[in-house]
Amino acid sequence: MRRLVDRLVCLGLSHRTAPVELRERVGALGPGAERCPAVGEHAVLATCYRVELYATLADGVEDAREELIGALAGEHGVDRALLLDHLYVHAGEDVARHLCRVAAGLDSLVLGEAEILGQVGDAFEESRAAQSVGPVLSLLFRTAVRAGRRARAETAIGANPSTASSMALSLAEGVLGDLGERRVLVVGAGRIGLQTLKAASGRGIVQIAVANRTPERALDVAARFSASAYGLGELEDALAWADLAVTATSSEEPVVTGAAVRAAMSRRDERPLVLVDLAVPADVERDAADVPGARLFDVDDLRAGLDGAIASRLREVPKVEAIVEEEVDAFGRRYRELEVRVGELRKRETASVVVATDDGSMGHHGFVTELVEGYEAWADQAFACGPEPMLRALARLAVTRRGRLGLVPHRLVRGSHRSRMRRRLVRGRIDHVARDLGKERDVDRRPG
């Protein structure tokens, strides 16, 4: 019999395999999965650089996988052959390995980036809220989050800044000290400008402002970060206010002139001003560096720091890979151990389920996996993840007054029954749990 873990698949497109146009066209893979009968649980991880679908499939995994790929191509209006050219597929324990590497930052555009761990966690929580994940994907995502946390706690994979925005803040700290109480101005509201605002907010900096050529865009971006907004016509006022100005526009001409910096410094009571120019071509005129009290860093200064940071992170990769393998081994070991338990439970002859019949009497109808028929794989996965998931599985499986299977929300099973069932599950008394479900009046009253 195929192991439960072999039904686990990941299908994805990333910056390594697909152009941005295709990734944007596909967008999210969830809608296609929802409409595919071969899919059980599913979750989508979508970031700027990747879109991935994690799913459990029905028996006949190869056929189910082909059915899923066809459903995704049809849902997003993408030629199947084009999708296959750029799609990568992982199966079984390789899915756990891949997601653990993603969460640890090993598969990111910027090695060791911190944001991806939060994005993995958010994808899991969103899927839980949508009720599209069950025991298998819950175990998978929790394993990946644990691997990502360990990678950052036990190694220096994320210790040194490795993005232009984070390096800009680090350079400024070398001049100004702790930035927590400093005022930060970001000139430009494009991708790098947004990254800088996010990095500043992530460091706990609360005095933030954004300046942009289009005032409406400045106001919109500022609202996301509880920041102030300036137009480029107000740049002198903004520079007079700021302690650090990070520029990242797409202008072909400098937007910060030496004259503007000189005028701003005359209003600052000798407070130093750090300018970090992330733009190519430059946003800040070179003679701004000659203004007393102003310190200018450009992309060459950043490049030297980034090269050193990446080299430092590369030395940590073997340690992170070892952590990933430990977590993957734990993931596989738990599945193998629990599959043995599932087999033992199936052999028990005494376990039974109580069914409410038409005349209100109670009858016994064999072992639970024989009764649930179409829900068998789902119940197997719940068995495999321990007492609490199994409790939820049994709480959702009930029989109507006409003797047919139905589903009820877990919340409809009263608290006293849940507590009693949990205790009996821990003791392995599946038959008594089934009787409790049969007695639950909220369950019995559900229509067929």
| CATH for 64 | 3.30.460.30
Give domain status of residue 343, yes or no. no
Query: What number is the average pLDDT over the span 415-442?
Result: 43
291 & 325 share domain: no
CATH of the domain at 197: 3.40.50.720
129 with 215, same domain: the answer is no
Same domain as 297, residue 219: yes
Q: Which of 95-104, 271-280, 341-350, 359-368 has the highest mean pLDDT?
A: 95-104
Assess if residue 309 is contained within a domain.
Answer: no
| 240-249, 302-311, 314-323, 357-366: least confident range | 357-366
* 328: pLDDT strictly greater than 50: yes
CA–CA separation, 355 vs 56, rounded Å? Answer: 30
**Per-residue pLDDT at 273 exceeds 60:** yes
Asked whether the predicted pLDDT for residue 280 surpasses 70, the reply is yes
Same domain, 169 and 80: no
Which of 10, 36, 48, 100 is labelled catalytic? 48
Answer yes or no: do 264 and 321 share one domain.
no
The answer to whether residue 48 is catalytic is yes
Domain check: are 240 and 260 in the same one? yes
Least confident of 44-58, 101-115, 206-220, 346-360: 346-360
Residue 310 lies in a domain: no
Residues 44 and 154 grouped into a single domain: yes
Query: Could you say which of 303, 327, 360 is where a domain stops?
Result: 303
Q: Does the pLDDT at position 7 exceed 50?
A: yes
pLDDT > 70 fraction of the chain, expressed in percent and rounded:
68
Q: Which of 138, 36, 19 is nearest to 87 (CA)?
A: 19
Across 19-28, 417-426, 428-437, which has the greatest mean pLDDT? 19-28
In a domain, residue 341? The reply is no
- Say whether pLDDT at 397 is over 70: no
Q: Identify the band that residue 417 occupies on the pLDDT scale cut at 50, 70 and 90.
A: very low
Q: Give yes or no: residues 138 and 201 share one domain.
A: no
Residue 403 placed within a domain: yes
- In angstroms, the Cα distances linking 336 to 10, 90, 343, 373, 381 are 20, 19, 11, 23, 12
Percent of the chain with pLDDT over 90: 35
Reply yes or no on whether the pLDDT at 414 is more than 60.
no
Q: How many folded domains does the chain comprise?
A: 3
pLDDT at 389 over 50: no
Average pLDDT over residues 422-445: 42
Predicted pLDDT of residue 106 = 93
The CA distance from 353 to 330, in Å, is: 33
Residue 308 located in a structural domain = no
Closest C-alpha among 64, 3, 26 to residue 337 = 3
Same domain, 89 and 117: yes
Threshold 0.85, pTM exceeds: no
What's the domain range around 288?
164-303
> Are both 321 and 241 inside the same structural domain?
no
Please indicate, yes or no, whether residues 237 and 352 belong to a single structural domain of this protein.
no
For 275, the token pair is 């300018």
Assess if residue 129 is contained within a domain: yes
Centre a 10 Å sphere on the Cβ of residue 281 and count the other Cβ atoms it contains: 11
Mark whether 155 and 71 lie in a shared domain. yes
List of long-range contacts for 180-184, beta carbons under 8 Å, 24+ apart: 180/204, 180/205, 181/207, 182/207, 182/243, 182/244, 183/207, 183/208, 183/209, 183/241, 183/242, 183/243, 183/244, 184/208, 184/209, 184/242, 184/243, 184/244, 184/245, 184/246
